[in-house]
Amino acid sequence: MKLMNYQVVFAKHPGVNGSPAEDNFRYESCEYPADPAAGHVLVQNLYLSVDPAQRCQMNEASGADYLLPWRLDEPVPGLGGVGKVLSSNHADFRSGDVVMSGFFEWPWRLYFSIDASKIMKVDERLVGKRLSLPISCLGLVGLTALFGITERSKLRELKTDGSTKRTLVVSGAAGACGHLAGQIGRLEGADLVVGICGSAAKCRFLTAEAGFDAAVNYRTEDVAARLAELCPHGVHSYFDNVGGAVSDAVIGQMVPGSAIVLCGQISTYNTDAPYPPPLKPEVQQIVTERGISRERYLVLEYQDKFADGVTRLAHWLNAGALKVFETVEDGLENAGKAFCSMMSGGNVGKQLVKVSDA
């Protein structure tokens, strides 16, 4: 019997200054892979990650040397995912193993053959039955939040007198990295954690479920004025996922010697702005005069600490100190839709696509 296979291909560029749309993607049948060649394994896709960084891969040039541009009419190469090994031609993997992407390749296909050096075994003792966790927390997303806070936020370094509340502000706070960064910031010494996000429902999520002290809706509220009320001692650390006007408003509230974790600038991803985009002169002047640190942050700089980081995240998860939220879209055919939805704020926590059952 002929086995069926399916894939999502990149069908159309959105244009450098265009928002991604569902018709940029096409779902189609394709060949079932041949038996894996030496050093390869055959994988059944279980979960896909959709990530803001993929927006730059939709341009002719991605602007990042570790991310190649997608090619028209070819399957989307993907970034992250979890799958099950169906057959293996590599000594380290066996049929039935649960595996995840190593770095930056996880095809948007139901079944695929992949070089074993590009995948890693999932430690099933850490994830239990929640096989999406390597994408939503125990992988690059959780590590980005963790090292952003521990290596870049200065939360532990900042000297404050006993009466000053050490204040962390997170933008993109209800998203994958953001909701974890706020919680980890609290575990790492923040006395007051304020999130900024794009809807009233997300504000409620942050304060009722993700342990934030307060939340600001940047679409309906004056961010600078609200932060001035909510952060009476100023802002000591800012975990920045979005950039643009939201960040300009936060920077105005930051105290001398404070730190910006320059995690991402999603508000500029549908434009041809360079990364990181330069600040407006008057905002740059605040950064300079107050000695605020704002260096580019890339989680890959901390690869030597990844194993310890995953252990730390898993420990917090198992102890109930860290909660992970996900928005799951069903079906490989909806991967493009899930990506577009995430880019325009449709997700709470990590946006995933469930491709098949284990």
Ligand X SMILES: NC(=O)c1ccc[n+]([C@@H]2O[C@H](COP(=O)([O-])OP(=O)(O)OC[C@H]3O[C@@H](n4cnc5c(N)ncnc54)[C@H](OP(=O)(O)O)[C@@H]3O)[C@@H](O)[C@H]2O)c1
Chain residues binding ligand X by CB under 6 A are 51-53, 144, 172, 174-178, 197-199, 202, 241-242, 244, 246, 263-267, 297-299, 342, 345, 347, 351
- What the block records as the tokens of 334 is 């909806």
- What the block records as the tokens of 231 is 């952060």
User: For residue 135, what are the contacts with CB-CB under 8 A and spacing of at least 6?
Assistant: 47, 49, 80, 81, 82, 100, 141, 350, 352
Q: Which is nearer to ligand X, 21 or 298 (CB)?
A: 298
Q: Which is nearer to ligand X, 85 or 170 (CB)?
A: 170
CA distance 297 to 148: 7
Least Å from the CB of residue 102 to ligand X: 16
Residue 357, number of CB atoms within 10 A of its CB? 8
Least Å from the CB of residue 343 to ligand X: 6
* Residue 276, preceding peptide bond in cis (omega within 30° of 0): yes
Residue 18, number of CB atoms within 10 A of its CB? 14
Instruction: From 136, 180, 165, 115, select the one nearest 46 (Cα to Cα).
Output: 136
User: For residue 128, what are the contacts with CB-CB under 8 A and spacing of at least 6?
Assistant: none
Q: Which is nearer to ligand X, 53 or 279 (CB)?
A: 53
Least Å from the CB of residue 248 to ligand X: 12
Parallel, antiparallel, or unpaired: how do β-strands 111-115 and 40-49 relate? antiparallel
Least Å from the CB of residue 239 to ligand X: 9
Least Å from the CB of residue 327 to ligand X: 8
* CA angle 329–121–56, rounded 5-degree value: 50
Least Å from the CB of residue 350 to ligand X: 6
Least Å from the CB of residue 250 to ligand X: 12
DSSP 318: H
Name the helix (H) or strand (E) containing 30: strand 25-30
Q: Which is nearer to ligand X, 42 or 251 (CB)?
A: 251
Q: Which is nearer to ligand X, 237 or 265 (CB)?
A: 265
Q: Which is nearer to ligand X, 6 or 297 (CB)?
A: 297
- What is the crossing angle of helices 140-147 and 306-318, to 10°? 90
Q: Which is nearer to ligand X, 77 or 198 (CB)?
A: 198
